Amino acid sequence: MATATAGPRSFSAAEVRARCAQGACLVSCHRRLYDLSGFVRLHPGGEQLLRRRAGTDVSAALDGPPHRHSANARRWLEQYYVGEMEPGDEQSLSETVDEKVVDAAAQIPEQTDLCYKTVDVEKDLVDWQKPLLWQVGYLGEKYDEWVHQPVDRPIRLFHSDILESLSKTAWYVVFLVWTPVVLYLSWFSYTSLAQGNTRLFSSFTTEYSIPVHKYYFPFIFLLGMFLWSLLEYLIHRFVFHMKPPASNYYLITLHFLLHGQHHKSPFDSSRLVFPPVPASLVIGFFYGVLRLLLPEVLGLSVFVGGLCGYVIYDMMHYYLHYGSPRKGTYLYGLKAYHVKHHFEHQRSGFGISTRFWDYPFRTLIPEETFKKED
CB 155 within 8 A of CB 258: no
For residues 203 and 12, which has the higher predicted lDDT (pLDDT)? 12
Does residue 213 have a known ligand-binding role?
no
Does residue 345 have a known ligand-binding role?
no
CB atoms within 10 A of CB 130: 11
pLDDT of amino acid 190 = 92
Parallel, antiparallel, or unpaired for β 9-11 and 81-85?
parallel
Query: What residues does each domain of the chain span?
Result: 10-85, 161-358
pLDDT of amino acid 62 = 79
DSSP state of 324: -
Does residue 263 have a known ligand-binding role?
yes
Residue 279 reports pLDDT greater than 60: yes
* Fold of domain 10-85: Flavocytochrome B2; Chain A, domain 1 (3.10.120)
E strand or H helix that includes residue 200 = strand 199-200
CA 373 to chain CA centroid, nearest Å: 20
Q: What is the pLDDT of residues 111-135, one digit of tens each?
A: 444 433 445 545 678 999 999 999 9
CB 39 within 8 A of CB 58: no
DSSP three-state, residue 93:
coil
Strand partners, 32: 29, 84
pLDDT of amino acid 263 = 94
| Distance (Å, whole) CA 113 – CA 246 | 42
CB 36 within 8 A of CB 105: no
Residue 368 reports pLDDT greater than 70: no
**Burial (0-12, 13-18, 19+ Cβ within 10 Å), 329:** exposed
Q: Is the dihedral of CA 118, 120, 125, 131 positive or negative?
A: positive
Does residue 30 have a known ligand-binding role?
no
Model confidence band, residue 7 (pLDDT cutoffs 50, 70, 90): low
Does residue 342 have a known ligand-binding role?
yes
Which range (44-58, 95-109, 244-258) has the least confidence? Answer: 95-109
Q: In angstroms, what CA-CA distances link 61 with 11, 74, 306, 311?
A: 21, 12, 43, 37
Instruction: At 212, give phi and psi (nearest 5°).
Output: -110, 110
SS3 per-residue string spanning 137-192: HHHHHHHHHHHCCCCCCCCCCCCCHHHHHHCCCCHHHHHHHHHHHHHHHHHHHHHH
CB 225 within 8 A of CB 303: no
| Distance (Å, whole) CA 100 – CA 122 | 42
For residues 100 and 270, which has the higher predicted lDDT (pLDDT)? 270
Looking at 22-170, list the stretches that DSSP marks H as alpha helix, in order from N- to C-terminal side. Answer: 47-52, 59-63, 71-77, 99-106, 143-147, 161-166
CB 79 within 8 A of CB 21: no
Which range (78-87, 156-165, 192-201, 278-287) has the least confidence? Answer: 192-201
Torsion angle (degrees, nearest 10) of CA 116, 122, 126, 128 = 40
Which range (174-183, 230-239, 293-302) has the least confidence? Answer: 293-302
Does residue 321 have a known ligand-binding role?
yes
Q: In angstroms, what CA-CA distances link 329 with 242, 333, 334, 351, 354?
A: 32, 7, 9, 17, 14
Closest CA to 255 of 346, 322, 175: 346
